[in-house]
Every structure is written in C-alpha cells, then in structure tokens.
Amino acid sequence: MRILIELPTWLGDAAMATPAIENICSHFNDAEIILIGSFASTELFKYHPKVDKVKVLDKKYLSMLKLSNNLGQFDNYFSFRGSVRSKIFKFFVLSSNKYQFDKYVYKNTHQVEKYNNFINDSLEINLHPGKLKINSSNKMIEKTSLSIVGINPGASYGSSKRWSPKKFAEVAISLSDQFEILIFGGPEEVDIALDIENYLIKKGVLNYQNLSGRTTISELVVHISKLDLFITGDSGPMHIAASFQIPTIAIFGPTNDNETSQWMNQKSIIVKKDLACQPCMKRKCPLIHHDCMKTIKTDDVLNAVKTIQ
C-alpha cells in the first residue's frame, strides 16, 4: 500500500492538518506514506515516524509533471489543497483513488474539523480529530533559571493580522522580570522583530534573544516546545505551540477564531475586540482604520497573562 499526501501550503494549515494525517496513518497502519508540499509544510513533517519521504513540490508545471512521473504508482492520493495548480497536479498523479479537499464543501467549522471531515468522507470512516501532533528533532536547548516567554509579532497572511510591535515590546518589557524573552519571526518579519528589540534596548531590557530570520522551521519547533508562555497573533507558530500545549495568548483581529484558534489547547486565551467589521478575512484592512488590532491594548494582553498563569 502506497499513499501520497499533498499538504496545505501554509505552516499553520499544515499543523491543523496533522490530526487528519494521523487518522490516515492509523487507518493504513503499514502503508508507505509520502508527503509533498511547500518547503514550510514539508519541513513540519521531517521527523514524523510514519512518513517515509517528504518532497518539496515546485510550482512550475513542468517540474510538477516530472515529480508525478518520478513518484510512481499509488493506491491512494489525498490533496489538502484545492487550487487550480493542485487540480492539474492531481490529474498527472498515478493513483487508483484520488481525493481532493474542497473549501466550498467544508465550511463553518474549525479548520482541523474541515480537514478531518474530508478524510472521513473520502475513506467512509468516522474517526475523531485528536490533538495537533508535530514531532520535534529533540535538539537540546539550554534553559536559564527563569521561565521563557516567546513573542511572535508576525503573520504571513498579511498586515491586517499584525499587532503593533511597540505593544508587543511593552508586553515583553512588563514580563522581563519574570521571563527570558525570545522574539520569533520569519525572514519577512526581521524588521518588525528589530523594532521590538530596539524598544527593549531603550528600556534597558537585556535578557532577550532575537531569533527572527535565524531559525529553521525544525529549530523553531524545538524553541516553541520549550516555552513557558507564548504571545502571538493568529499564525503558524501559534498552531505549533498548540501541539505542545504551551500556555498561549493569541491576539485575533480580522480572522475567524472559530475556525483558526488553537485546537484542543486548554491553556489558550484569545484576546480580541468584537467589532461589527470582524472577521473580514482580508489581508489588508478594507476600512483602512485597522481598529480590530489597534483597539487591543497592552493591558488587555497582560491581564490575559495574569489569568493564564
């Protein structure tokens, strides 16, 4: 039995697909499983014990055709993507059974449940989605005597999901007596992280590390797994934290927390304002004012920290 799985593109979506993928693995216990997808999503599965291979899927059509030919024949193919490019790739995949996620069929529930319902319907089974499951490389990271708080100001979806770097810094400064501070971010978020770092320096806070743009995804997973507290927007790292049950303050603005909040993390608190324009689901604020994020104050987050501790 050979199974090919195309992962969601984004890091957070790939994390939210893990319960569905675990159910595939348990249903086909002895199958050879190959995963394909974006670099970010495939990196998340590098250490999965039941995955035999992970391959990055190039978006160029000729490359996709070559990959489909090189992969060989499969018994089942599952795609968690519904784009035109993904449908074309599906056409070339050699598989006895082909299943493709359709966002217009699966809606009005959490993304984890959407993905899991897709697998249940495809295989005509009825397995419940468990917790998010991400396997770490178990790389050793030395911890200080203080607890560690992670600050994650970025969100690859767009600027509308980002809270003010100054407010993130104010939260970090207030917590600096209790926690060592780790600032996270991808290559596109280095400037935002640097703004936070500069605020910390101005206030004389020295017990921090700025890791933005300096970690691989595997290293990011390890760092997040060691946190005592995580403060983040709606983002991929937020879902990584959920897989390790890290106490998390999640700041939500334009996105729908009913669909993309942390899955099955009892130690999670959502901070948001219930404005009439929420959730707009836009990458940039269509009303220009960005009030869903601007009206969230530093004290709103610090009060949530007091509740979760």
In the chain (309 residues long), the average pLDDT of successive 10-residue segments reads: 97 98 96 97 96 93 87 97 94 96 97 98 98 86 80 76 92 97 94 96 97 96 96 96 98 95 97 95 90 96 94
- Which residues, including other chains, have CB under 8 Å from residue 184's CB and lie 6 or more apart? 150, 151, 152, 153, 154, 193, 211, 212, 215, 220, 223, 224, 232, 237
Answer yes or no: are the C-beta atoms of 254 and 276 closer than 8 Å. no
- 137 occurs within a structural domain: no
Would 197 be classed as within a structural domain? Answer: yes
Query: Which of 79, 108, 123 is the last residue before a domain boundary?
Result: 123
What pLDDT sits at residue 68? 86
**Whether 167 and 224 share a structural domain:** yes
- Let me know whether 36 and 110 are in one domain: yes
CATH code of the domain containing 263? 3.40.50.2000
From the CB of residue 36, how many other CB atoms can be counted at a distance below 10 Å?
24
Q: Is 50 within a domain?
A: yes
Q: How far is Cα 187 from Cα 190, in angstroms, rounded to an integer?
A: 6
What pLDDT shows up at residue 61? 84
Q: Do the beta carbons of residue 302 and residue 174 sit within 8 Å?
A: yes
Is 254 part of any domain? yes
User: Residue 143: what pLDDT?
Assistant: 64
The angle formed by the CA atoms of residues 165, 167 and 171, to the nearest 5 degrees, is 115
Query: Residue 254 sits in which domain range?
Result: 147-308
pTM of the full structure: 0.95
Short-list 221, 217, 229, 219, CA closest to 305: 229
pLDDT at 141: 65
Name the token pair of 270. 């959502």
